[in-house]
Structure 1
């Protein structure tokens, strides 16, 4: 009974008087607890040489929430669409940019909370391409309004007092008696959004509206989840940030409340963004979309497009254009949970050099920490002097280092003088920067080091505290960027479980850490049959027969028809239960409880989805204090609309198997259209053991993602690319291509930064009027020029790929042979793909800037440039190059180069003042049907060769002694 009261109220006593003020929160590695065993850790699993092996373990029962029945599975749950009576619209008034009105409740039904009787409606034409529909209660008492200081609010463009409605392709129409509205595309007459026939529901804990969709719709967006790029009928998207190990279709780390509706009957695309941080659910039907939120107001933005890329640009511009990553971020990154000692990092860096595999950045998971505490390093395994020596050597070699940082701060044991010597907690506690319980006491959850507190990024002093902690850390351990993990925000227990227990710290997590990993990829038993026989026998011999722990403290579910609570309502257990992919759906399972309270009174319930985003903004500012005018490098797990302006993202705790390799592609698409183009996943897989075949395929696929990192879990076998000779060979092959293409990738980074366009692009965006290419997730374009066709299944030596417009409107060239391909438009072509080979094609009409690869990005940038000119059917091509110093936040000197090829002539036109002194070495021109008599560079003959309809112009260094693009030049043939 005591435990039941605890999880319902999320408060366990007030603890020490000094702790009532507040305290920061400790973190957890990408190795989330959800991917580990639920059994209690053994005493020997502390993982740190500086803490006692007999550390107390957080009781498993503290992790168990109250079982919920999600409404979508609850047959007895009331259908709000049927029961609600809706509103009537009165007092409609036109304003220069739209209209206002009052919505009056027709009849209270109080389905999931109490209905608001009166709502304000405001419709604003913000620009020629954007329409805003805003609905909120006239009485805003106990209503959360998302502040503009937290999440950017799109503004009216131009003259606020006038607007030519004929300039907008979006038209708002409404019905008054039974209020509904439609958004219509003027140019086609098509209804883009319609609530007709469906009542608006607006309660204190439940908002719902519906729109009709055309049958056979193509809806994308609504991330983040492991799912195909299309949201097919029957899809239910839960938008609630969640620390969980990449379940297919479940809610995971990020929340992006925007969808894109691509319509092939009119060849148009539009977008709809609900600017809300609320807990949400979206249900996709055959001809409908239902959107629900458990708090807040309706603040909808419609983007008119009309092409997919137009909509992406329009949306991302409003939420915040992506951060411009430093040039070195494009290099290869190596990590794992299990580099136990500083000597392990030294060995890994040495091995990459020994096997001649480029390594740009070495990363650390929580191994380096002293007992898993933020801002620390283990004095025995990562002693400061050796740590610093290692980083000095790394930096001398133009390489980089990124450590993990978790989202919670350890609460030390006041009865243990050694343990209590932890300045990050005391400094935060004294500054009052931690989340509280509703009664004002410190909210204490549990993460990797034990009982922890959580920084409150709405508190007045948190940024100053943050800046100082990061500065002190960097002064001791000079890192180059930050890996932000566990910031959904995650907690291993339900409620403020440490309020009366923090004196038991240090405490181990309530699950096994670093146990033997027995999972192997699909096909392992075939390609590794001898080894598999031995492994399977070992697994069978050591299999446990013990019964698992219960998954819930309650066998009964919360009543979905919860009584009407006054004010905000029932915060921890709202009357509408979402399908939360955690435990038995309790919102507080593996997360800070919804009733945790911020300094200004805001409840975590209303902004849970923002925690990671707010933390990332704070880290961004702290890094700018450390590295003035240098672009902060942050890779983070939890994201929200606009987070891409501060960080890049990795795909979280995936599995070492082919399905996760496949899903990495639509996940990249989803992040791209969400404004986070700098994305990658843990290549070779995080959870489970990889093998040579899977790792070969994935290392090559990953080499074309913007963020390229290998990372795996504690206890799994090593999977650095040099572990297997075949993987090393495959890696060197594709990595040489990636590093050769660094100028192209950097140009795409810059394009994303200034326009919002993704770097990896789907067929549906590249060929938006070709319906057969919707939902293609097994191939992708890098920019507009490169088409990647990876192998995504085991035991094959061939792969099928489609080449839109081939030999009709498009030309494709094999990257490796330069040969024009005789493909057929719309046909599945069979491509040779033995181990170590990833099919790669250049789309005609594009010009690619290249630079000879070096071991590091810095070395590569000192090498000569090259160009690949891939002519289209008309003998034309174009491209561009962007260069600067690769690190400045405020860019003073930059270089832009436009390339245009037509009528047997290539013109390179540079402008800007950045000095790229490296010469031009060669130019390769694809698709030249006849061998030319001569090739000229600015009117003088140069040497060339001709083979497979390709001109190879070499030895151009003498023609460009001041730099490849110091001056305009022309090459003719």
Structure 2
């Protein structure tokens, strides 16, 4: 043992302990190898603690200089706010790579009473222990008796908790929501959806999202972000979460919780709230890879009208490009004249065009886009000579924009501006931006100067595999080695600047993401498969992206790779139309999967599903707006709303919440016409009919899931959801803005309910910053034995509706109404009187009341300046 390299040994044993089933080491055996850093200085102040620590190798172990051990650590423990702690560890003597831009600047506010830091003692091995004071539970422990290492290219640490935890997050991957114990690679890879169970390296995909949520055996939660862009492995054990990275620094944020939703909000408060979504972006989208020509695209667009199906956006994959070159049109199959006519007609029908743009720029002397980037030198530079580094993607040999170059934004927005004059797009789909490479490293050159043979530790396969050569150089001498996983983030920020310059909300869908991407774009889950398992995995994928602060997300509906069938596609239409981002898309060579492709069952189910989404579009828009305003998730696990119910965590994908008040039970299995489904302990009503759900002893009820038909949705007692009447006839979301509103009121046991609605123009990027929106609160309450009251009150009145927009409330439907309503009166700050509804209906069997108003009764306006009170007399 005396000749062993100690730091390497410690880190290897660290990884062995995380994967003890593979290597046979137990946690007890590993605990004999202690932290080799000893504290030499501690200075405390009101804002935190600064610590110096020095490496001290055990006397009987030899440590060669080639090990590149960082011998002196500078450590800062910063009290960010009462619910968040940040600690950084870096080389005290030399600058190291540190991630820029991912975290908006902030001013630490100091510690509160929700956590405490244990004393750090000079002369003792480095130890950091943080306790949540509300339950005296340790939520972070850098255990001095456990391995810890800090080498130039090999850094490892862990949070040893000493009690059982369930861990979520650590993306991007296809996995169960609660991660299995094992190791998980984090590095941006173009990899088509392998299923990751924690026991196979390199099952990661397009993004690096080193954030986790941990729930303990008492169902309390905390979270952690390891802000590091290098290739890394995350380790999930029964009572710890660890990281081993290939560079950078340790920059770790701890989120105190104690409930899961608290952790997510605390995380979003750090990384910034997501960008606003355009109103039309929440509608229905159609794409496919393999459109032969513009006539085929036009035929698909026309078929939507023929089948009387709503459509908001048509997408085209790389088929439209000339030789797969960005910002071009194929002159034969997509000639500009025909293309312009199609887009003009599309927009005249209130629909939008979204093209794909790939990361690789073709290296061709006759290609103007490539040439325009040479003079400002905006491309990543080769490690071998002072020319752009290259890879091979769809157009052949290609170069890649260096997003750290100060000229890159102007180059990119300039190309998008020119492209818009050619195509008149409404949004941009950025793909292949890991950045992907069909070869390993730079073609025409030997293996990279940095490989798994030169690195002391490699997370999974070689970092050059299907990647730009990691020895390539960015502006300022930054190595691709450090920033590979940031390429998609940089491209997303630059694309955002284009839309910002137009004062438009960005409609950007990206494949690769990093911490903070949601501030600029939405995301789809990539190249999934037309399989039942991926139908369920899509729910996990959206849960994860929502946690990562990217709530505007969706999966390719009916699956991208392989062939779907009518039943699977029908079930996916039911589910996928309730994703925030709803797009049908599949691969070249696969069977068509349009809503009309398989027959009447799919067609009818698709029509019901899309129109269900459209009926709830104001609810979706309000939920997404509120997420942009204050963080959190709209499409989320029911466990986040009911954090004391372990059944909801253990079976997370069998149900999900759509904002406040709605729970959905999708059908995820073939051959099923109904299922006994679990509900959280509460009052629930069938959303469509208003019938009260009679739950059995196990909080379950049988739900009908026959096809064709709607997906089961239920509303929680105590909530009010606005719906749009025109959803049954509208063919686009712009038409929905002319729709009257129906309020669905579900009463709780106290005969009360609350809800919200947000109104704005649905397009402007500054609606939030300029308070150019109106937020309405709805409150229904029991007054006495003969009177109930609905109060409609704006809390912010910054938006004036355009002529005809959301003109009035047409219906008020009350679930749990135990007695019929006989008279309705209204009161505002200006006038009062009696309403004379067209109908006052009550069904004593279902306890549903309906107040149906005439179109001339424009009294119940959603953006009134003052409070409106409606009194219902029983």
Using the size of structure 2 for normalisation, the TM-score is: 0.89
Aligned-residue offset at 1:122: 1.1
Aligned partner (choices 763, 766, 773) of residue 638 of structure 2: 763
Match of 2:215 among 262, 277, 282: 262
| 1:703 alignment counterpart | 577
Paired position in structure 2 for 1:424: 369
Partner of 2:623: 748
Match of 1:405 in 2: 357
1:430, CA displacement in angstroms?
2.3
Q: Is structure 2 residue 50 aligned with structure 1 residue 156?
A: no
- How much does 1:206 deviate? 0.9
Is the CA contact 1:316–1:675 (under 8 Å) kept in the aligned structure 2? yes
Q: Which has the higher contact order (CA 8 A, sep 6+)?
A: 1
Does residue 931 (structure 1) correspond to residue 820 (structure 2)? The answer is yes
- Judge conservation of contact 2:860–2:868 (CA < 8 Å) in 1: no
Conserved 8 A contact 1:226-1:248: yes
Query: Which of residues 462, 466, 484 in structure 1 aligns to 2:408?
Result: 462
From the superposition, tell whether residues 800 and 205 of structure 1 become closer, same or farther in structure 2 (CA, over 3 Å): farther
Taking the aligned partners of 1:195 and 1:89, their CA distance within structure 2 comes to: 13
Q: Structure 1 pair 499/578, CA: closer, same or farther in 2 (3 Å)?
A: closer
Corresponding residue of 2:723: 850
Match of 1:137 among 91, 103, 116: 91
User: Which secondary structure state, in structure 1, belongs to the residue aligned with residue 165 of structure 2?
Assistant: coil
Where do 5+ consecutive residues of structure 1 fail to align? 1-68, 413-419, 501-552, 559-564, 580-584
Alignment of 1:292-311 (within 5 A): 292-311=244-263
The residue correspondences of 1:482-561 to structure 2 (distance < 5 A) are 482-497=428-443
Equivalence for 1:188: 135
Tell me the equivalent position of 2:393: 447
SS at the partner of 2:603?
Answer: helix
Does the CA contact (< 8 Å) of 1:572 and 1:595 recur in 2? no
- Cα 1:194/1:393, change in 2 over 3 Å: same
- Which of 51, 73, 96 aligns to 1:101? It is 51
Question: 8 Å contact 1:268–1:306 — kept in the other structure?
Answer: yes
My pick for the range that moved more, 384-393 or 299-308, is 299-308
Does the CA-based 8 Å contact 1:209-1:291 persist in structure 2? yes
2: CA distance, partners of 1:871 / 1:813: 9
- Counterpart secondary structure, 2:856: helix
Correspondences of 1:384-399 after superposition (within 5 Å):
384-399=336-351
Q: Which residue of 2 aligns with 1:578?
A: 459
What is the aligned partner in structure 1 of residue 10 from structure 2? Answer: none
Alpha-carbon deviations, 1:790-817, whole Å to 9, x = none?
1111111112321110xxxx11111222
The answer (yes or no) to whether the contact 1:442–1:499 under 8 Å persists in 2 is: no
Could you say what secondary structure the match of 2:373 adopts?
helix
**CA separation in 1, counterparts of 2:389 and 2:697?**
60
Q: CA deviation at 1:71?
A: 11
Q: Is the 8 A contact 2:776 2:862 kept in 1?
A: no
Q: Is 1:115 matched up with 2:84?
A: no
- What is the aligned counterpart of 1:722 among 596, 603, 606? 596
Match of residue 437 from structure 1: 382
Cα 1:456/1:80, change in 2 over 3 Å: farther
1:202 aligns with 150
Equivalent in the alignment of 1:514: none
Call closer, same or farther: CA 1:423–1:937 in 2, change over 3 Å. same
Residue in structure 2 matched with residue 378 of structure 1 by the alignment: 330
Match for residue 223 of structure 1? 171
Do the aligned partners of 1:152 and 1:320 also contact (CA within 8 Å) in 2?
A: yes
SS in 2 for 1:429: coil
Matches of 1:666 and 1:381, distance apart in 2: 39
Q: Is the 8 A contact 2:742 2:809 kept in 1?
A: yes
Q: 1:370 to 1:345 in 2, by over 3 A?
A: same
* Residues paired across the two proteins, number: 812
Paired residues of 1:87 and 1:199 also in contact (CA < 8 A):
no
Does residue 1:786 correspond to 2:736, yes or no? no
The 3-state SS of whatever aligns with 1:900 is strand
- After TM superposition, the structure 1 = structure 2 runs for residues 631-670 of structure 1, keeping only pairs within 5 Å, are 631-670=505-544
Aligned-partner Cα distance in 2 for 1:856–1:345: 18
Q: 1:293 to 1:899 in 2, by over 3 A?
A: same
Distance (Å, rounded) in 1 between the aligned partners of 2:738 and 2:318: 35
Partner of 1:526: none
Which deviations, in whole Å up to 9, do the C-alpha atoms of 1:743-800 show, x marking residues without a partner? Answer: 1110011111011111111122011122232232221010021111111111111123
Q: CA offsets per residue over residues 672-728 of structure 1, 9 Å max, x none?
A: 111000010000000001111000000110111100000000001100111122111
User: Which of 283, 287, 308 is the equivalent residue of 1:335?
Assistant: 287
Structure 1 contact 572–594 (Cα < 8 Å) conserved: no
Give the direction of change, closer, same or farther, for the CA distance of 1:950–1:343 in structure 2 (3 Å limit).
same
Note the C-alpha offset of 1:663: 0.4
Q: CA deviation at 1:609?
A: 1.1
- Structure 1 residue 498: Cα displacement: 5.2
Q: Does 1:732 align with 2:607?
A: yes
CA contact under 8 A between 2:222 and 2:255: conserved in structure 1?
Answer: yes
Q: Could you list the per-position Cα deviations for residues 582-604 of structure 1 after superposition, in whole angstroms to 9, with x for gaps in the alignment?
A: xxx22212121221211211111
Map of 1:869 onto structure 2: 745
Q: Is the 1:388–1:477 contact (alpha carbons within 8 Å) kept by the matching residues of 2? A: yes
Per-residue deviation, 1:170: 4.2
- Please say if residues 743 and 813 of structure 2, whose CA atoms lie closer than 8 Å, have aligned partners that are also in contact: yes
Instruction: Quote the offset at 1:826 in angstroms.
Output: 4.2
Partner of 2:793: 909
Q: 1:797 to 1:104 in 2, by over 3 A?
A: same
Q: How big is the shift at 1:844?
A: 1.2
* Deviation by residue 1:846-898 (Cα, 9 ceiling, x = unmatched): 10012222211100101111110011121111001101011011125321110
- Answer whether contact 2:33 2:146 (CA < 8 A) is retained: no
- How far has the Cα of 1:645 moved from its partner? 0.4
Is this contact kept in 2: 1:790–1:799, CA < 8 A? no
In the other structure, the counterpart of 2:184 is 237
Q: Return 5+ residue gaps in structure 2 as ranges.
A: 1-15, 197-202, 783-787, 828-832
Deviation of the 1:972 alpha carbon: 2.9
CA distance in 1, matches of 2:445, 2:311: 45
Please name the residue that 1:533 is paired with. Answer: none
Q: What is the CA deviation profile of residues 448-505 of structure 1, one whole-angstrom value per residue up to 9, with x for unaligned ones?
A: 01111111111121111112111111111111110010001100001110579xxxxx
Instruction: Work out whether residues 112 and 575 of structure 1, in 8 Å CA contact, stay in contact via their aligned partners in 2.
Output: no
Tell me if the contact between 1:444 and 1:499 (Cα under 8 Å) persists in the aligned partners. no
Residue 154 of structure 1 and its aligned partner are, at CA, apart by 5.5
Give, in angstroms, the shift of residue 180 of structure 1: 1.5
Matched residues in 1 for 2:32 and 2:529: separation? 42
Corresponding residue for 1:591? 467
TM superposition shift of 1:156: 3.2
Tell me the CA shift for residue 819 of structure 1.
Answer: 0.2
Q: Does 1:968 align with 2:867?
A: yes
* Residues 571/586 of structure 1: CA separation in 2 closer, same or farther (3 Å cut): closer
CA RMSD, 1 decimal? 2.4
Q: Secondary structure at the match of 2:244?
A: strand
Q: How far does residue 351 in structure 1 lie from its aligned partner after superposition?
A: 0.1
Distance 1:693 1:767, change over 3 A: same
Report if the CA contact (8 A) 1:434-1:456 is conserved: yes
How far apart, CA to CA, are the structure 2 residues paired with 1:190 and 1:109?
A: 37
Match of 2:78 among 92, 109, 124: 124
**How far is 1:620 from its partner?**
0.9
| Range 424-433 or range 107-116, more displaced | 107-116
Q: Write 1 or 2 for the structure with the bigger share of strand.
A: 2
